[in-house]
Structure 1
Amino acid sequence: MPCPKNSHYKLCGTRCPVVCAGLSSPANCSGGCEEGCQCDTGYVLSDGQCVLVSDCGCMHEGQYHPAGHFNSEKSCQKCNCKRGEVTCSPMESCSVKDGLVLQYGVCQVFAGFGYITFDGVILPHHGACTYVVSALSSKAIHDYFLLLSFKKDSNGIFTISRLVFHLLSLEVSVDPETLWKIQVNGEERSVPFENGELEAYQVGDRLIIITPSGVGIDLSSTQYLRLTVPQVYDATASGLCGNFNGDKYDDLKLRNGHLTESFAELLHSWAVVTPGQHFTDICGKECDDCSLSSHESMLCDVLLDSSIEFNHCWNSGIERDIYRVMCIRAVCAGAGHVAACLALEAYSAACQAKGIPVGSWRENTPCSLQCPDQSSPRECVDSSSNSCPALLQPGSSATGCSEGCQCSYGNVFDGNQCVPYSQCGCVLNDIYIKMDERLYTDGCAKICWCHTLGGVICEEAVCNPGQQCALRNGSWGCHNGTEVCKLWDSLQISTLSGQHLSLEPDLSYSLMSLCDEASVQWFSLVSYHGPCDGSFSRLVTVFQILLHGLSVAIQEGMVKVNGHFVSLPYTLSPGVSLSSGVNQDKSEVTVILRRDTGMESELEIEIGVTMVTVKVPFWYSGKLCGLCGNLNDLHSHSSVKSGVLPDFPGCGFTG
């Protein structure tokens, strides 16, 4: 009979072997002998293994632990048992609930420069697109997925343009420039906000979103983000934050489950590409390569090594080097001194998560907070009384104080402006209304505003004929029944929001499409202006309308359906027809596509030689892709480049 190390077989050995805990036989042992393995002379049992007495473990909080590292079951501490002595330190991202220790994983996003995954892998960022940062599937806690959209500014730096957090029946959308408000299922709400499924509030310059299951998002005004997730037995995580399994060697996992060694391939895999939109500024080897001059490397070393406010943190077990490497990655991406500031902010957050206070580390550095007029940076801001909504909606989870901006004496924040207390607005059913604001209730049945002497006034409201009540840019209101996007001179666009865009020739553009390609109402409108048939002496404008099973190409009044010329009027399918007309100023003969649902025109596209007018009903709000916009978020397109269709045959009319 084989026996483990430091033990031997005995036909009749003691049933009550000596164990490390107390160095005696168990008190409830009945004696006698039994066949089995026994520890060799000089060895005793320690958690099922035979060890020398000098290698025995330790008693801690009433429980025996073998020699080595262990986590306390009664307090959030990381402990080490050595030579019978126990030393402990607070554990980062850990809490006690119902007597059980809950460990949390933390994924960090450093603006548009990079990530540190749950398991500690550093990833660079490069791309103006929307990415799946993290998604979790679990029966123990509610599923979620977190999306971040990035844009490229005039200096070539990537920044976060929008955060979207999906949870059960909720979609929460955040603009990093306006952390004092969120959109919940498209409706704008000031923070603090709480509805039973999540809570959102401000702490200093940070927006905190937490769920009852313990998932938390912490986004600062500098675009440093911490995603905190409880470790549960059945969770399956994915996305750029990794799979949260403790193994850093399998974090570069593509959406299809395969591993990669290329950061560029990983980013591309987790990009969210919607119909009619293509992400831009993707990277090649620059995502993997990073070479800095000694002067550039010093940006990270000087600040990280010289900040005495972190002295108490140096020996706390938090890895300092990972933030230095992340800082260097950010410098590679063009962040300059901002890279070191983000690294220090992350290190500060890690220290405070372990209960270690950090002083005013931003002083005498280029990292000071940028505050609005009539406010200034403060190391300790009481967020429960620093804004109008917080004062009028007491009970927020924002406790204590945190660094942030504070208005001058007698003033508080109302959005991003400091106002006297007397100019704060009012609250209707937990919805904050600014003093100069008029708010339609859901369905536009009432319109409400704040009385100058306090309280809320509401009166009945009815939309005008031809208007519809709809949720637009976060607020309910009466809007025209149809909205219009126009293209003229082949390359100039007026979007649904009235924004003007200029296109480039020789490229195919997605002007408008229904994002959901599986919908029976799906359509796509594409334009191309440039040379055809290899002739650069003559430029033409070609429009294509795609429906399920149908392709309509229009050039200079001529129409092809699925590659065949047709005469007008022409019925494409029940409810969908083509007819001829003239545009509003009678300068061009036009082709008009109409798609009707009952008595109502659901889609109308009028195409001339160099112009297009698209009319869509407002119930398409939030469902449209392309350069025209989506009716709900009037600034949904990030750039003209986002509408380019590189693989679309622009000049395919003659085919």
Structure 2
Amino acid sequence: LKTDFELVVTFDWHSYARVILPNTYSRAVCGLCGDADGDPANDFSTPDGHQATGELQFGDSWKVAEVPGCWAGCTDGCKVCTEAEKRPYRGDKHCGLLVKKGGPFAACHDVIDPQPFFSDCLFDTCLYEGHQETVCRSLSAYVTACQSEGVAIKPWRTAAFCSLVCPPHQHYELHGPTCPPTCHGQTEPEPCEMSTTNATSTTEGCFCDAGFLRSGDHCVPLARCGCIHDGRYYKAGEDFLPDPRCFQRCSCRGAGTVECWPTEGCGEGEVCAVRDGVRGCYAHECGRCEVLGVVSYRTFDGRPLAFAGTCAYVLATVEVDGPQDPLAPFLVEVEKESGEGGRKGVRKVVVNAYGVTIGMGKGEEWEVDGERHLLPLALAEGALTVSQEGTHRVLLTQGGLKLLYDGDSYVVLTLPVAYHGRTRGLCGNFNGDPGDDLSTPEELGAAWGTLTPTCTHGDPPPTCPVDKLGPCAVLLEKTGPFVGCHGVVDPHEHVASCVQEQCGQPGAATLCRSLQAYAAACQAAGGQLQEWREATKCPFSCPPDTVYELCGQRCSGTCAGLLATPPCSHKCFEGCRCRDGFLFDGADCVPMDQCGC
């Protein structure tokens, strides 16, 4: 990123960020980067102008917001590697390659001092117990700095050391162009000054093969390049709404051709707005369908259902009207437990979308097309992602489908308004009319269940007095632990299902399942859940090497997250996180040096 006042910001999408400012900003800036006055001794200034007593106090003083799931880290007794612990990483197979005389970076030593990079590499690599990806990122940061000064780095990556795997139609180059050919540049010039000091700068990375051009984050043949409209680039086949009132729709037909036609604007319940940089018709409210325990359901249109079937059922599906239909097809099924051995709830959730079948079982079990994988994972070229968020699995699709399963008895399926009137299954047709959703067990089981010798569609659950809230009333308490959720998730619907569940199977275990369902819905919607388990006597146990958190981001604390940015929802959920020095490798916590590849 470069501005007209010569601010240059570089970020490698992982761990290296660099800010360059002209000298005119000396003593006029503040923050973690200091005041740029040439004196490193006063760089620990806090926002109130005082000098911090240490790095921890200094770093915490510049925190800009409370980000859900983030924590300050260690407060006392922070691990500091001794020189003896750093010694194994001083060799050529680790950080020592940075300062090796005659090594691949030697030509840069007189231009950029490698010692600060070497010290940082030792610090990080020791804390991450020698994980190679940590070394690679440290070396890559030095390469970026050197190449920005026009220094020619010698080859340093090998098949066994810091190898870079490129996407389809791309290849690795050590000295690639800072401004590679793009589809955008074929139709109009684009500014591309990545260096402020040397016109001969190069950069390493993945570059398009011969005959291909960069289109967004993909490489495509020239014939499949997109279009420029009002200065913005659109991929071939991409539709967009250029009119601020959404009364015009355009489509990029490829090869620079844009076709536009008038529309009637947004539909009922929609608003024309820009979200995540994209203008479109967005729903005021998305459709939500929930499985709320053993017998309770709520359709997209808000109709409560009491259904005790123990078979596999279609929760929701959609049939598209040919290849021109903009809706992405999907199928969501739930398999209920029979109750044998005291087990109750949802045994398994199966989602089929974008040609991939995801099976999420009770507890930590899940699979893709019948094979086990580690979370988090992006599938179908990023069109579908699955992540572990606290105790929950969260599945997101490019078409707007979102599913959360708490691994026990709560499932919530959210759809955008584009699916209005198009769905079928236990969740109903999402047409705004709860009256035409099926209601009796006979109708539901016959229409959407698969009857086998080991399951039944069940007898109608008992009719429960809705005025006797009993222990479920804690969800409504104005001073209770769930009050911070009331503004984002209506508690009355969950109270009704809680009463229904208690009526059929009273007891603490059933109550805790209902409360956990509301807690999950609250955190998924961004509510402020307070500590609730101790007050309601719903204990939560964590496996070895983990600790309980009310608001954490387990998704990012994984071995997979060391290698690439994981597809996380960025919401916080309660659950167990690995203790310091450990990361999730599947369902287990392992020391960082035991993470795989």
TM-score calculated relative to the size of structure 1: 0.45
Question: Relative to total residues, which structure has the larger strand share, 1 or 2?
Answer: 1
Question: Relative to total residues, which structure has the larger helix share, 1 or 2?
Answer: 2
Larger Rg: 1
Q: Which has the higher contact order (CA 8 A, sep 6+)?
A: 2
